[in-house]
Amino acid sequence: MTKLSLTFIAILISIGTYAGDILTLTNSMVFEGKITKVKDCTLVFKTDNGKFHIPATDVASVVFGDHTDKVYTNYLEKVNDDPGNCLKARLDAENYHGKKGGHFVLGVLFGPFAMIGTALANPKPEKGKNTYLFSENKELFDDPMYLSCYRKKAKGQLISMEALGWGSWLLLLLVL
């Protein structure tokens, strides 16, 4: 009987050491799964129910099951950078970057060609007049993480406005 109980305890301990990553959100919900990627300001978390992209601002804590995993070392590098920088970049791009009405008109006139041109562009906060004047984050304009998040948000907004313009042009053609 003691051998059986010792075997059972050994199995429980070994299962505990091979447990997956534990993710705790800011709303106190706890999930167990595997963190597969850490990119920009999001964690890609895989569970039995699927993959989830979780913003870093929603994460209260992360406990990795395997400290030799490459994802763990990437996570440590990202945490050492300020995740708030990415949020600041997204807010700056959303509030100050580009002439969204002008990109809507470009979408109406040129459709997918306007979207391709915007996708190939390289928006920078110091090139945008409004961003340079109104942003309170001028010291971050050289930060690579800030610039990456800024570019993604700025391109995404402008391409969506061009797609909206192109879609409205197509709807106008269908109506007429």
Question: What is the residue-averaged pLDDT of the chain?
Answer: 79
The pLDDT value given to residue 164: 94
The pLDDT value given to residue 7: 57
Mean pLDDT (whole number) for 38-58: 79
- The model's pTM is 0.54
Strand arrangement of the beta sheet that strand 30-39 belongs to: 50-55, 42-47, 30-39, 21-25, 59-63
> How would residue 14 be classed by pLDDT, with cut points 50, 70 and 90?
very low
Residues 114-165: tens digit of each pLDDT: 999 999 988 888 887 788 788 888 888 888 888 888 888 889 999 999 999 9
Going from the N-terminus, what domains does the chain have, and what CATH number goes with each?
2-80 (2.30.30.100), 84-175 (no CATH)
Distance of CA 47 to the CA centre of its chain: 19
Q: Give the whole-number percent of the chain exceeding pLDDT 90.
A: 20
Cβ atoms of 165 and 106 within 8 Å: the answer is yes
* E strand or H helix that includes residue 110: helix 100-110
Residues 70-128: tens digit of each pLDDT: 776 666 655 555 567 888 888 888 888 878 889 999 999 999 999 999 999 888 888 87
The pLDDT value given to residue 12: 47
Mean pLDDT (whole number) for 14-43: 72
Whole-number Å distance between alpha carbons of 150 and 117: 17
